[in-house]
Amino acid sequence: MDYVTQNIVLKYLQEFKTDSTSTIARTIMKENPGLFTDFESTRNYIRYYRGQSGSTHRNKMDIEHYVPRVNIPEPVEQNYEPYIISKEDYPLLIGADAHVPYHNRDAIELFIEYGLNMKPKPNTIILLGDWADFYKLSSWNIDPTMPDIKQELEMLKSILTSIRKLFPKAKIIYKYGNHEERYDRYLMTRAPEVFHLPHTHLKEQLELDKLGIEVVTDKRLITAWHLTIIHGHEYKFSINNPVSPSRGLFMKAKKSAICGHFHQKTEYSEPTITGHVIRDWSIGGLCNLHPFYIPLNKWTNGFATVTITDDFYTVSNKEIISNRIV
């Protein structure tokens, strides 16, 4: 179809949106006898722009000029665009899984001290999920003697305030993990009537706007140039792997990425057929390694930094052993 006949078909589709394909085809042929003489080909043109030509043609159809026969309501708006970190935002300091109030105080202090001694200092600090625990909002059996939600929020706010004071110029990003999601899920299921009221959400409770801390929610990705950063719970059926979480991350993402969530320091790399090397990391947590609900585990303490030189980034996956960074 040339440019002239294409515009004619689109014009009739706009004018006769609710008419049948055959009716529009006959009208076009009648009013444009010199250009359209074959009923079946004219009908196929119309079907093509209405997306009715079968899956093969629908995949190739001109979406820009697609004209539906019916008025389709606007869908519910959802934002799954990645949060973009530019080259200028490097170096990165990444810490995850503090699980306040079940955190490891020494590990968090080492994480902060390392950032303060970095040269250059981190331009971006990523709190990569599960800095809150919300044990009492979980579906597990709950020990009533553990700290309540008010105490937990106050402790976490105190830590976040300290980080902001110590890194006044840094961009700080708080990406929610599965434990932060416990808070909103609790409100949605137990108190849906107040879910949309001001100051009910975690962001307001922690006063993150006041602290200048940006929030990444809804399982959105963080894209840092060639590196993708996630908490680790974003895949519904998990990326857990009996050998290595980073190997599991590679199998799911097929891209260089880094995650928390598993409280383990691991690294996996594999070349593609063209020789491009994909590297994936999981980082240790900043939590107590032997909590009462799972005292025996494979957890490690740690954090990561990401630096950039020219067009190459370097991930340094740190482990904390006996209160030392190794």
Q: At what angle do helices 39-49 and 21-31 cross, to 10 degrees?
A: 120
What is the CB neighbour count within 10 angstroms for residue 138?
13
| Statement to judge: residues 143 and 291 lie in one domain | yes
Tell me if 38 is assigned to some domain: yes
| Statement to judge: residues 193 and 133 lie in one domain | yes
| Statement to judge: residues 24 and 100 lie in one domain | no
The reported pTM is: 0.78
| Statement to judge: residues 108 and 46 lie in one domain | no
| Statement to judge: residues 61 and 94 lie in one domain | no
| Statement to judge: residues 282 and 203 lie in one domain | yes
Tell me if 268 is assigned to some domain: yes
| Statement to judge: residues 255 and 113 lie in one domain | yes
Instruction: Answer for the pair 97, 286: CB distance below 8 angstroms, yes or no.
Output: yes
| Statement to judge: residues 90 and 219 lie in one domain | yes
CATH of the domain at 294: 3.60.21.10
Tell me if 196 is assigned to some domain: yes
Q: Cβ-count burial of 65 within 10 angstroms (0-12 exposed, 13-18 middle, 19+ buried)? A: middle
79-82: long-range contacts at Cβ-Cβ below 8 A with a sequence spacing of 24 or more?
79/218, 79/220, 80/218, 80/220, 81/220, 82/220, 82/221, 82/222, 82/223, 82/228
| Statement to judge: residues 106 and 237 lie in one domain | yes
| Statement to judge: residues 151 and 264 lie in one domain | yes
| Statement to judge: residues 234 and 95 lie in one domain | yes
Q: Which tokens belong to 29?
A: 């042929």
pLDDT at 241: 64
Per-residue confidence in pLDDT tens, the chain, 326 aa: 566 777 888 888 888 888 888 999 999 988 988 788 788 888 888 888 787 766 555 555 554 555 555 667 778 877 789 999 998 999 999 999 999 999 999 999 999 999 999 999 999 999 999 999 999 998 878 888 999 999 999 999 999 999 999 999 999 999 999 999 999 999 999 999 988 888 899 999 999 999 999 999 999 999 998 899 999 999 877 776 667 999 999 999 999 999 999 999 999 999 999 999 999 999 999 999 999 888 999 999 999 999 998 878 999 999 999 999 99
Question: How far is the C-alpha of 101 from the C-alpha of 149, rounded, in Å?
Answer: 10
Tell me if 77 is assigned to some domain: no
Query: How many separate domains does the chain show?
Result: 2
Question: How far is the C-alpha of 301 from the C-alpha of 168, rounded, in Å?
Answer: 26
Tell me if 28 is assigned to some domain: yes
Per-residue b/e over 239-255, b at no fewer than 16 CB within 10 Å? bebeebbbbbbbebbee
Question: How far is the C-alpha of 66 from the C-alpha of 143, rounded, in Å?
Answer: 58
| Statement to judge: residues 12 and 38 lie in one domain | yes
Q: Which domain holds residue 284?
A: 83-325
User: Tell me, what amino acid is at 283?
Assistant: I
